Amino acid sequence: MTTIVHIVNQFFAGLGGEDKAGMPVGVIEDVAGAARGLQLQLGEEAKVASTVYYGDNYFHEHKEDAMKAILEAVRSAQPQVLVAGPAFNSGRYGVSCVEVCNAVANALGISCVTAMHGENPGIGTYLDFANTRVYCLPTAETTVGMNDALKRLAKFAMRLARNETVGSAQQEGYIPRGIRRLEQTDRPGAERAIEMLLKKIRNEPFESELPMEVWDEAPPAAPLAQVKERRIALVTTSGVVPWGNPDRFKTYRNTHWRKYNIAELKELEPGKWETVHGGYNVAYMNQNPHYGVPLDALRSLESEGAIGPGKLYPAYYVIPGNQGSPAVMRRVGQEIAADLKKDNVEGVLFVAT
């Protein structure tokens, strides 16, 4: 018999509305609130062993404690699958469902499924994590869609419990996470591409095998008045790193970044630096690292006063950008931004290759 744990907020646990949103994490060793509906849909196949709940505000205001208590409660029930929500268009609830799913999937190695409306801010969090073990099903905007959502959650949870192969988002109906998977086919790429092209020419519907990432727009950050008085840092995806590649960057699909000290340096001496990047010919940059990290130019501008004394950040940031997935690069960008803000950097020179 499959064991499932259901995560709900205080409202869907039947414990109260906004006035109870400060309620800490609790466990009901049975079904309560929405979990009762989930159990009905699961029927005899699976048992909701416990309902774990928390106040919408409590979760976000005491995230560390909340997450610890939730992980403990889930772990002790030893479920095969975790179900969270449905959260419909409730923002705090939706974000918490995704965060709990992500944490449980990582800590316990089990699959998790949640559900919410496409405009729930939790979807952004879901895309950021892009966790291969976490699925989110679309729901209606309000609880009008409760029955339908629970029915689909139950069905999906059972498939995860049986370790069935889950296909693409388009086939399976979950919200796409931006994860690309390799597939085998016995028809060569050229044949498939020409077939798609012919369909396109005939104005027939066709389906790309590599849907393009939809780029979100970031409004420009405000300009700097008097750049020479501002703290500036250099960030690069060129892949220039100290000779020997001490942090073991790969030539493609890196997931971590580093910063390297340049405080005492006037220039980057060839032979002391190397370029790790599988997307272009690195010979030029190996001969002259300044093509990726223009330290000589920065120092020269510093001596002219175009950059204030001591205003160049004492380290540069790097991740070889080749084949970086948008989700990873978003996370890396956020981490570097946080690090720069911590050290009061005000503007960034970014060298991309």
Partner 1 sequence: MSKELEKAGLPVALVSAMFPVAMQVRANRIVKGVSIPHPCGDPSLPKDLDARLRREIVRTALKALEAEVTGPTVFSPGIP
| Residues near 212 by beta carbon (within 8 Å), at least 6 away in sequence | none
d(CA 166, CA 172): 7
Shortest reach from residue 235's CB to partner 1, in Å = 7
d(CA 200, CA 184): 24
Shortest reach from residue 181's CB to partner 1, in Å = 23
Shortest reach from residue 313's CB to partner 1, in Å = 11
Note whether 298 and 307 are within 8 A (CB). Answer: yes
Q: Which is nearer to partner 1, 37 or 321 (CB)?
A: 321
Residue 121 CB-density burial (10 A; 0-12 exposed, 13-18 middle, 19+ buried)? middle
Shortest reach from residue 304's CB to partner 1, in Å = 9
Q: Which is nearer to partner 1, 39 or 322 (CB)?
A: 322
d(CA 23, CA 57): 8
d(CA 17, CA 268): 61
Shortest reach from residue 111's CB to partner 1, in Å = 29
Shortest reach from residue 270's CB to partner 1, in Å = 12
Q: Which is nearer to partner 1, 36 or 311 (CB)?
A: 311
The binding site for partner 1 (CB under 8 A) comprises 215-228, 230, 232, 235, 237-238, 280-285, 287-288, 290-292, 294, 296-298, 300-301, 306-307, 319, 321, 324, 329-330, 332-334, 336-338, 340-341, 345-353
241: amino acid identity, one letter:
V
Q: Which is nearer to partner 1, 2 or 251 (CB)?
A: 251
Q: Which is nearer to partner 1, 62 or 250 (CB)?
A: 250
184 dihedral zone (left: phi>0; alpha: psi -120 to 50; beta): beta
Q: Which is nearer to partner 1, 110 or 235 (CB)?
A: 235
Q: Which is nearer to partner 1, 159 or 330 (CB)?
A: 330
Shortest reach from residue 106's CB to partner 1, in Å = 22
Q: Which is nearer to partner 1, 258 or 290 (CB)?
A: 290
| Residues near 287 by beta carbon (within 8 Å), at least 6 away in sequence | 270
Shortest reach from residue 126's CB to partner 1, in Å = 17
Q: Which residue in the block uniquely carries the two structure tokens 């309902």?
A: 51
d(CA 253, CA 259): 18
Q: Which is nearer to partner 1, 161 or 235 (CB)?
A: 235
Q: Which is nearer to partner 1, 108 or 328 (CB)?
A: 328
Shortest reach from residue 78's CB to partner 1, in Å = 38
Q: Which long-range contacts (CB under 8 A, 24 or more apart) does 49-52 make?
A: 49/3, 49/4, 49/5, 49/77, 49/79, 50/5, 50/6, 50/77, 51/5, 51/6, 51/8, 51/13, 51/27, 52/5, 52/6, 52/7, 52/8, 52/25, 52/26, 52/27
Shortest reach from residue 200's CB to partner 1, in Å = 20
Q: b/e per residue, 200-232, with b = 16+ CB within 10 A?
A: eeeeeeeeeeeeeeeeeeeeeeeeeeeeeeebb
Among 12, 8, 21, 17, residue whose Cα is nearest residue 73? 8
